[in-house]
């Protein structure tokens, strides 16, 4: 099958966690809302039947935002931002606690709705999927519209869909017309639709790589497509520069992986600025613990345990190291994952600044029981 014969969709739920909360609290529609508070930030019912909501200006602590409504984003408040910084930008924003049980419920609903129409789905997390539509006879826009309508009818939520010949382009497309967008393109559209976009729009080009490209005068995907391969290799190394050259041309041969048995489950994040293990220890510890918690949540949601715990670090010079450890018994608990990942961390050099941190759980097995979740002990929270 040629690249142009493939029809790959990327479906991304619009401001998913926040949108689920707006179903529960419709009076907040149109307001700046951030998700990421603790249980103490649960809305309180007044005697007159209205609700009293926590306000971001009153927040004290070191938490980070999980997500925000589009109204909050218009004020500069985005996911992974520190709560105190967000309070400076949007002091009157409503603060709600996270409710992962509810988000997982709606995640299952929208994926079931999509599968009833197009079953070849690659699950990419709680709020996004890839769908292989190549074998469907139905016209692309009509098919995508039917999928969007099914999601809305089932959940009351909107989604954005990008459809293209591969996963790379489909993911870019799904973000072009948010919220409630539908974008379709072919390889012939790459020069006019993709090349004018900032290079950072490519999934895999993080803030540091984008900064390095900008320093070289490479601002757009089109600039990257026209850049000499030798220059890229001099600054990014052989493997990453080859990847940059391909993706700038819209080339991506990755299949939509529909297997229900993943080999591993991982979470990683690229930092807005390079962090140092000593000078930024508290920040790194917070991020490290959050990654372990999210991997644990993914394991619980998908019904898996894992025996092999691994970490991934990418340094400021773009070199990458990985370490892993195999445990005597399978786990899915965040504290157990954090403890094992911490052991791996002690086996890597931490003199250089770090631009990416990841946590992975492999050697998966189905969870037939329900192991109790441990609490993080204070002594385990440091980035040793």
Catalytic residues: 128
Beta strand pairing call for 67-68 and 33-37: antiparallel
d(CA 166, CA 10): 9
Q: Are strands 121-123 and 8-13 parallel, antiparallel or unpaired?
A: unpaired
- Before 335, cis peptide (omega within 30)? no
Contacts of 215 (CB under 8 A, 6+ apart): none
Concatenated DSSP letters of 286-352: HHHHHHHHHHHHHHHHHTEEEEEEEEEEEETTS-EEEEEEEEEEEE--HHHHHHHHHHHHTTS--SS
Query: How far is CA 241 from each of CA 187, 202, 211, 238, 272, rounded to the nearest angstrom?
Result: 21, 14, 15, 5, 21
Of 244, 206, 200, nearest in space to 225 by CA: 244
CA angle 187–181–272, rounded 5-degree value:
80
| Per-residue tokens: 164 | 């293209």
């Amino acid at each position: 099958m040629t690249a142009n014969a493939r029809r790959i969709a990327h479906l991304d739920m619009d401001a998913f966690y926040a949108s689920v909360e707006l179903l529960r609290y419709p009076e907040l529609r149109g307001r700046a809302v951030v998700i990421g508070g603790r249980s103490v930030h649960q809305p309180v019912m007044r005697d007159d039947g209205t609700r009293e909501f926590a306000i971001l200006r009153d927040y004290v602590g070191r938490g980070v935002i999980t997500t925000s409504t589009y109204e909050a984003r218009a004020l500069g408040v985005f996911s992974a931002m520190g709560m105190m910084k967000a309070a400076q930008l949007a002091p009157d924003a409503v603060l709600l606690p996270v409710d992962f049980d509810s988000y997982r419920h709606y995640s299952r609903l929208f994926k079931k709705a999509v599968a009833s129409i197009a079953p070849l789905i690659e699950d990419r997390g709680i709020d996004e999927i890839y769908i292989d539509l190549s074998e469907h006879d139905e016209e692309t826009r009509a098919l995508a519209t039917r999928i969007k309508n099914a999601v809305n009818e089932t959940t009351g939520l909107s989604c954005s869909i990008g459809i293209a010949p591969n996963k790379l382009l489909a993911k870019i497309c799904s973000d072009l017309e948010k919220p409630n967008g539908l974008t379709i393109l072919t390889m012939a559209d790459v020069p006019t639709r993709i090349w004018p976009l900032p290079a950072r729009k490519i999934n895999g080009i993080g803030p540091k790589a984008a900064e390095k490209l900008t320093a070289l005068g490479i601002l757009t995907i089109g600039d990257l497509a026209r850049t000499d391969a030798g220059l890229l290799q001099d600054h990014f190394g052989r493997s990453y520069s080859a990847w940059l050259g391909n993706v700038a041309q819209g080339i991506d041969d990755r299949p939509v992986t529909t297997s229900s048995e993943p080999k591993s489950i991982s979470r990683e994040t690229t930092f807005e600025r390079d962090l140092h293990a000593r000078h930024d220890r508290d920040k790194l510890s917070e991020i490290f613990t959050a990654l372990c918690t999210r991997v644990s949540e993914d394991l619980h949601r998908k019904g898996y345990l894992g025996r092999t715990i691994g970490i991934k670090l990418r340094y400021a010079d773009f070199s990458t190291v990985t370490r892993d450890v195999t445990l005597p018994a399978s786990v899915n608990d965040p504290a157990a994952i954090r403890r094992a990942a911490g052991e791996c961390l002690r086996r890597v050099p931490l003199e250089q600044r770090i631009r990416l941190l990841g946590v992975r759980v492999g050697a998966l097995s189905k969870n037939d029981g329900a192991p109790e979740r441990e609490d993080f002990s204070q002594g385990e929270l440091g980035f040793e």
